[in-house]
Structure 1
Amino acid sequence: MTERARSIAVALATYHRPANLVRLVPSILEQFDDVARTFEERAEFRVIIVDNDPQGSGRETALATGDSRVTYVIESSPGVTSARNRALREAGDCDFLVFIDDDEIPQDGWLVNLLTAQKRYRADVVSGPVHSVFEGPLDPWVEASDAYLRAHRADTKTGEPIKRAATNNLLLDMRRLREFGVTFDERFGLTGGEDSFFTGQLHQAGAKMVWCAEAVVDDLVPLSRANRDYNLRRRYSLSNASGRVDILLASRGLPRVRRRVVCAARGVGQILYGAALTASGVVGRSLKRRAYGERFVVGGAGALAASLAVAAEPYRR
């Protein structure tokens, strides 16, 4: 690799979920050992835990391993944007920063595969798949709706270029990030979509962003999220955030106006299509058609709201 020791940090933001750290922190430390064995190189490793709770409710659990490679900091400014920007600052002198969510667990070889893809494709950004794991039986509506199917499917190959990515499984070349000068935008602090906007800006700036199909993390979905009501709210906020990202990535003036019109048209079209599909599902007693239709309706409403500069705020406390 290189003569000097590379520095690799894995960062996660957390808020009132200390129990999740019990499994996650040790699993990340195991990934470090895997990297050292695989590459047979000197490397400096860090886990950066950014607690967005001013009271520091996650401190004891975060530091329970007693491992000196674990750094725990409190970011009192509320919102995911503030927490992620704090992680960028904490890892400012690192070679690579990898984001993972606090409700996830990396699969074997996760970090090795991210680093391997970065080297092989000389990538500035590498993202990988997220596999949903449920703690109990699924609500029939959730199963019928395919609500947890991810944007990147199994047929996306390692090395294929991507234009946006989420921070729940994301490697950044920090040297290149410093050159681009991109951080997370505070306008998305309470709305979500900050990661799509962040990586969208990197793509526009010329960053090389690729997919790594082998770098998998498991998303641990509690039963409280595996139901119709939660997923309809989630669909609305995700669609709303995606629409706002589309609009704000466009240049000011006519290009942004055009993007806003397209977003509105897409929203109306999804509402009409979803309403027809829902009606068809009700009449034909097809739960799948009804569930898909309802998701289209609320997704369209989210996009239409974005076109009117209305932002959903799922992270408001």
Structure 2
Amino acid sequence: MKLCVAICTRERPKMLRACLASVCAQSVPDWVQAEIVVVENHDRETSRHVAEEVAAETGWAIHYVLEPELGIPFARDRCGTFAENAGFDRVLYIDDDEIAHAGWLETMVEATRALPAEVHYGRVLYTWPPETPSWMVPEQVNKRPSGTVLTKAEGHNTLVETKVFRAREAGGFGLHFDGSMRFTGGSDTDFFTRVHDAGGRIVWIPDALVEELVPVNRTTLRWQLNRTFRVAGNISRLHEKRAGKRKAALRSLLKGLGRIVGGTVLFLPAAASFAVSPEGGRRRAFKAAKQIASGLGSLAYLAGHQQQPYAKVDGG
């Protein structure tokens, strides 16, 4: 296998260096030829020196490519098209704010032999800052066995066969990340949903682990609820792309109202349990608030509201 490990970055050289170090420390099977591409989503080479220094230190072949069109879907798409045009068989995505665990790369590529698929989706663990309220930190339990067939995936920790990007007339799927979602989030879920719809197989590989450090600014109640609100709206837009605006609108109305009612009802036992266990009460109240925020996000879609949270670099 000719493998391209792909890292998208933008003005985050310290994170990029740590990510690259974790990738270069991976064990690579004899039957795999692995190289790295760093795609800088910028019109200036702010991180070329990092790629060149790590390449010199480790001996890895590291390509550095600029993608001046701002937005994560453009950067991820450049990774895929670079790998396909350069003759790589697969592209393995990892975000620049993630650290690969030992055995990550080997686990992913070995999965292609045991579980043939166009996409292999690994697991992401989250490390929360120590000041994070304990009631906000979710349990990180893997609930799906290895090899579970999925209908979608996300863009981090994902191994993708490059034929997905290849033109249809050349035997590929001819698929690309949607640039209209450049700052909204959700372009990765949209892309892999379309891979599934095109007949691509997506399988879950929970032992291929990467770890992401959650930035401090994401540990506030406001940020968490706003993210839940935004994700609900993005999901509604994905349904619109697949089923049309009318069906998406009906679904959003029913889901939105149902979640608001359900979240409101959940507040009652949360308030009651607070007297017995303040920690448990806060956790239940947080869950209820997120359910209401999700419902409001679905209804906001009906009003045409859409946020652009990724217009600025986060966590750099």
- Give the alignment's TM-score, normalised by structure 1: 0.87
The residue aligned with 1:89 is 81
- Whether the aligned pair in 1 keeps the contact of 2:10 and 2:40 (CA below 8 Å) is yes
Unmatched segments (≥5 aa) in structure 1: 1-5
Count matched residues.
296
Q: Which amino acid aligns with 2:250?
A: V
Q: CA deviation at 1:290?
A: 1.3
* Cα distance in 2 for residues equivalent to 1:125 and 1:72: 24
The residue aligned with 2:142 is 154
Q: CA deviation at 1:306?
A: 2.6
Seen in structure 2, the aligned counterparts of structure 1 residues 284 and 172 have a Cα distance that, compared at 3 Å, is: same
Q: CA deviation at 1:215?
A: 0.7
Q: CA deviation at 1:243?
A: 2.0
* Of 17, 20, 24, the match for 1:25: 20
The residue aligned with 1:222 is 215
Are 1:292 and 2:281 an aligned pair? no
Q: How does 1:48-127 map to 2 (within 5 A)?
A: 48-65=37-54, 66=56, 67=59, 69-92=61-84, 93-127=87-121
Q: CA deviation at 1:141?
A: 4.3
* Of 148, 162, 174, the match for 1:174: 162
More displaced stretch, 84-93 vs 276-285: 276-285
Q: CA deviation at 1:269?
A: 1.2
- Give the alignment's TM-score, normalised by structure 2: 0.87
Seen in structure 2, the aligned counterparts of structure 1 residues 182 and 299 have a Cα distance that, compared at 3 Å, is: same
Deviations 1:260-279 (A, max 9, x none): 21122101211222233235
* Cα distance in 1 for residues equivalent to 2:17 and 2:186: 27
* Cα distance in 2 for residues equivalent to 1:307 and 1:215: 38
Deviations 1:265-311 (A, max 9, x none): 10121122223323553465321221111111111111222344432
The residue aligned with 1:304 is 299
SS in 2 for 1:311: coil
- Whether the aligned pair in 1 keeps the contact of 2:11 and 2:47 (CA below 8 Å) is yes
More displaced stretch, 68-77 vs 277-286: 277-286
* Of 9, 21, 31, the match for 2:4: 9
* Cα distance in 1 for residues equivalent to 2:208 and 2:150: 15
Are 1:240 and 2:229 an aligned pair? no
* Cα distance in 1 for residues equivalent to 2:157 and 2:50: 22
- Whether the aligned pair in 2 keeps the contact of 1:261 and 1:307 (CA below 8 Å) is no
* Cα distance in 1 for residues equivalent to 2:157 and 2:249: 29
Q: CA deviation at 1:68?
A: 5.3
Unmatched segments (≥5 aa) in structure 2: 167-171, 275-280
* Cα distance in 1 for residues equivalent to 2:60 and 2:205: 30
Are 1:266 and 2:266 an aligned pair? no
- Whether the aligned pair in 2 keeps the contact of 1:136 and 1:223 (CA below 8 Å) is no
Identity %: 26
SS in 1 for 2:46: coil
* Cα distance in 1 for residues equivalent to 2:283 and 2:175: 41
